[in-house]
Structure 1
Amino acid sequence: MASSLFFKRPCTLILILFLSVTICCKSEEDAMDIVTEAMACFNDPHLYSTCQESYRLKAEGRIVVPAEAVDDYCGGPCLQETKLVLQCLHNILSNFRFYNGATLLKVGQALERGCSHDENRGDFNTLENFEHPGLDDDDHTKSDYGKKITLSVYLLVITICVWLFFDRQL
């Protein structure tokens, strides 16, 4: 009787560990679905409908607006549609990064800076942060979902090992 109880507990713990890893961790397919859904924001006709194609934000992370078109861009539908695309991306994947490495925060700041009414008007550089020099907008993503999952799985394994050790001592 005691031996069957001994084997049931480790098997149960292994089953719990296996289920927690498979439930907690997203599969590669889930990740690809999320990325595909985020990329669809750039081509959604409900978001970008009237903004000229050459002024639209793309996955590259650049906003290209010639100096003579800044007033039309900032005063017309392009600015609002671009903000809608950024919101769409944020809703799907809040730590989205563009191909050039820019974050959603950096692109949002570039929009504000480029449409401002000061000496920075027309500067849509997404890789610089003139408003807050030295600001690292990655601070909020340093404990991203993947790191949290990895940590929780390690803690679960350690907890199970400690529990098994003390259970055998009794």
Structure 2
Amino acid sequence: MHKVLLTVRVLAVLLGFSAVAPAFAAARMEPANSEFSAKGPISFAKSIINADCTIEVSGRISADGSYASVEKVGFDGGLKCSQVEATHLPWKLVAKDEGSGAMSGIQVTVHAPFVGGDCGPTTADGTWNNSTGKLQATAVALDGGCTIKTVSIQMPPNFRVVP
């Protein structure tokens, strides 16, 4: 479950970059009008469930680069991770500046007896690093009792945030 929360946070961070309205975005993502896929570790929790998973996301950067639409999200890493399902896609990621962003619409359903349920939708703030290509977030609380403890998504080498 811990991995599930982390995955939710990572997704929240990714979605947050695109969920914020383009009018508020001070930076843009490149290459515009292109598809992307990325993955990385996520640590997630809901109730007594903690899960350390790998989150895989894919989507498309808008034609003007003002946001990225996260259209597919999956969690891998064992039974606990397989119990987490991303819902209400796409999530939206927007860049606030060259080092930060927000993902909106992050929502998951945890399919576990007694402690499962829906978490989100939530907007999560995170950091971006053009040098490492990593989108990261920590301690993201999701409505419904979920927490993304940590998430670090390695974006493709050509993915950049520019002023």
What's the TM-score bracket when you normalise by the shorter of the two chains? Answer: under 0.3
Name whichever structure is richer in helix by fraction.
1
Higher relative contact order (CA 8 A, sep 6+): 2
Q: Give TM-score, length-normalised by structure 1.
A: 0.19
Name whichever structure is richer in strand by fraction.
2
Structure of larger gyration radius = 1
